[in-house]
Amino acid sequence: MTTAAIFGISILASLVSSAVAARLFVWPRLQKMEPSRALTAMVAPHMFLRFLGLSFLVPGVVSPLLPPGFAVPAAYGDVVAGVLAIIATLALVNRTSWATASAWLFNLWGAADLLFAFYRGSQVAIDPGTLGATFFLVTALVPPLLVTHALIFFLLARHQTADGRSRPDARLSKNEIPRSQQA
Would you place residue 94 in the very low, low, confident or very high pLDDT band (cuts 50, 70, 90)? very high
Contact of 146 with 113, CB cutoff 8 Å: no
pLDDT digits (tens, 9 = 90+) for 162-179: 445 555 444 444 444 445
- Burial of 174 by CB count in 10 Å (0-12 exposed, 13-18 middle, 19+ buried)? exposed
pLDDT-derived band of residue 159, with 50, 70 and 90 as boundaries? confident
Helical segments of 22-98, H only: 27-32, 35-43, 45-49, 68-93
Specify the higher pLDDT residue, 172 or 134: 134
CB 96 within 8 A of CB 147: no
| Distance of alpha carbon 119 from alpha carbon 113, whole angstroms | 10
**What is the structure's pLDDT at 158?**
86
Structure-model confidence comparison of residues 174 and 119, the more confident one: 119
How wide is the angle at C-alpha 16 spanned by C-alphas 13 and 55, nearest 5°? 60
Task: Please give the model's pTM, rounded to 2 decimal places.
Answer: 0.87
Residues 6+ apart with CB under 8 A from 83: none
More reliable by pLDDT, 63 or 169? 63
pLDDT in the model for residue 164 = 55
CA 150/CA 161 separation, integer angstroms: 19
Give percent of the chain above pLDDT 90. Answer: 85
